[in-house]
Structure 1
Amino acid sequence: MEELIIIPAIFIALPWIILHYITKWKTSATITSDDEALLEELYSLAKRLDERMDTVERLVASDNPDFKPARLVHDREIDNEKLRELDRLLAEKKGAHQ
């Protein structure tokens, strides 16, 4: 009687469980188009907030000569390098989709 349970478990249930989790693993490893759109939206929002923060710091610095910004220096080339790389990658990706 035990063989009737063990044999189907080995040849049916075990491969089904393994294949099920392999499929789940493969589908969860990819980023969806909704995730990409959300990342692009968050990136543009971060850029706008960075520009606003630069503006606020410049305004405060012009009113108060003792003000020392805690952030990085405005538009320093080394600080903007990674942002330009992201802009280039996004432009390439949009060009590839069109």
Structure 2
Amino acid sequence: MEEVLAIVAIFIALPWIVLHYITKWKTSATITTDDEALLEELYNLAKRLDERMDTVERLVSSDNPDFRPARLAYDSEQDNQQLRELEQLIAEKKGAAK
């Protein structure tokens, strides 16, 4: 009886446990469509906030010539280039999904 139990454990239970956790690992490693939508919404919000911050700093600097922006890189071309690349990736992903 113990031999049968050992054979069942080795050839049925052990592979089932391994395959079960491999499946769990693969499904948890992917990003869901809800997660993608949330990330896109957060990206758009961050972009709008960045534009607002640029506007506020421009207005304050026009009223007060001694004002120095608190941000290290005011409307940096390097930052803008990274945003354009990210927008291009999002547009390509949307085009591929359709």
TM-score, with structure 1 as normaliser: 0.88
Per-residue deviation, 1:84: 0.2
Per-residue deviation, 1:63: 1.8
Structure 1, 2-11 or 12-21: larger mean CA deviation = 2-11
Higher relative contact order (CA 8 A, sep 6+): 2
Per-residue deviation, 1:60: 1.4
Cα RMSD (Å):
1.4
Structure 1: give runs of 5+ residues left out of the alignment.
none
Structure 2: give runs of 5+ residues left out of the alignment.
none
Aligned to 1:91: 91
Aligned to 2:14: 14
Per-residue deviation, 1:67: 1.1
The separation in 1 between residues aligned to 2:60 and 2:6, in whole angstroms, is 75
The separation in 2 between residues aligned to 1:25 and 1:69, in whole angstroms, is 46
Per-residue deviation, 1:37: 0.7
Letter in 2 for 1:56: V
What percentage of residue pairs aligned between the two structures are identical? Answer: 78
Letter in 2 for 1:69: P
The separation in 1 between residues aligned to 2:94 and 2:8, in whole angstroms, is 50
- Corresponding pairs, count: 97
1:39-50 equivalences in 2 (<5 Å): 39-50=39-50
Q: C-alpha deviations, 1:50-77, integer Å up to 9, x for none?
A: 0011111111111221111121122x32
TM-score, with structure 2 as normaliser: 0.88
The separation in 2 between residues aligned to 1:56 and 1:22, in whole angstroms, is 51
The separation in 2 between residues aligned to 1:12 and 1:95, in whole angstroms, is 45
Residue 32 (structure 1) aligned with residue 32 (structure 2): yes
